[in-house]
Amino acid sequence: MLKPNTNYASLKDSYLFYNISQKINSHLEKNPNAHLLRLGIGDVSMPLPAAVIKALHQAVDDQAAKQTFHGYMHECGAPFLRDIIAAHYQKRGVDINADEVFVSSGASDELGDILDLFDKSDTALIMEPAYPAYVDANIMAGRKIIHLPAGKENGFLPSPAKEAKADIIYICSPGNPTGAVFTRKQLKQWVDFANENGSVILFDAAYEAFIEEKELPRSIFEIEGAKTCAIEICSLSKTAGFTGTRLGYTVIPKELSCSGMNFNRMWVRNRTTKTNGVSYIIQKGAAAVFTDEGQAQIKENINVYKQNAKVLMQALDKLGIWYCGGKNAPYVWMKVPDYFDSWSFFDYLLNEAGIVGTPGAGFGNCGEGYFRLSSFGSTEDTKTAAVQMVRLLKQS
Amino acid (one-letter) located at 95:
D
In this structure, what are the phi and psi dihedrals at residue 194, rounded to the nearest 5 degrees? -65, -45
- Is residue 237 a contact point for ligand PLP (CB under 6 A)? yes
Q: How far is CA 160 from the centre of its chain?
A: 21
Shortest distance (Å) from residue 244 CB to ligand PLP: 9
- Is residue 243 a contact point for ligand PLP (CB under 6 A)? yes
- Is residue 275 a contact point for ligand PLP (CB under 6 A)? no
- Which helix (H) or strand (E) element contains residue 234? strand 230-235
Q: Closest Cα partner for 211 from 312, 297, 309?
A: 309
- Is residue 219 a contact point for ligand PLP (CB under 6 A)? no
User: How many positions of this chain bind ligand PLP (CB under 6 A)?
Assistant: 13
Shortest distance (Å) from residue 207 CB to ligand PLP: 7
Shortest distance (Å) from residue 173 CB to ligand PLP: 9
- Is residue 248 a contact point for ligand PLP (CB under 6 A)? yes
- Is residue 150 a contact point for ligand PLP (CB under 6 A)? no
Shortest distance (Å) from residue 312 CB to ligand PLP: 18
Shortest distance (Å) from residue 31 CB to ligand PLP: 29
CA distances 309 to 14, 129, 266, 302, Å, are 27, 20, 41, 11
Nearer to ligand PLP, 107 or 124 (CB): 107
Q: By CB under 6 A, what part of segment 58-117 binds ligand PLP?
A: 106-108
Q: How far is CA 188 from the centre of its chain?
A: 21
Query: d(Cα 33, Cα 290) in Å, to the nearest integer?
Result: 43
SS3 content of the chain, % helix, strand, coil (to 5): 50, 15, 40
Name the E strands within 275-382.
Answer: 323-325, 331-335, 355-356, 358-359, 370-374
- Is residue 203 a contact point for ligand PLP (CB under 6 A)? no
Nearer to ligand PLP, 235 or 328 (CB): 235
Shortest distance (Å) from residue 43 CB to ligand PLP: 8
Applying CB under 6 A, which residues contact ligand PLP? Answer: 42, 106-108, 131, 172, 176, 204, 206, 235, 237, 243, 248
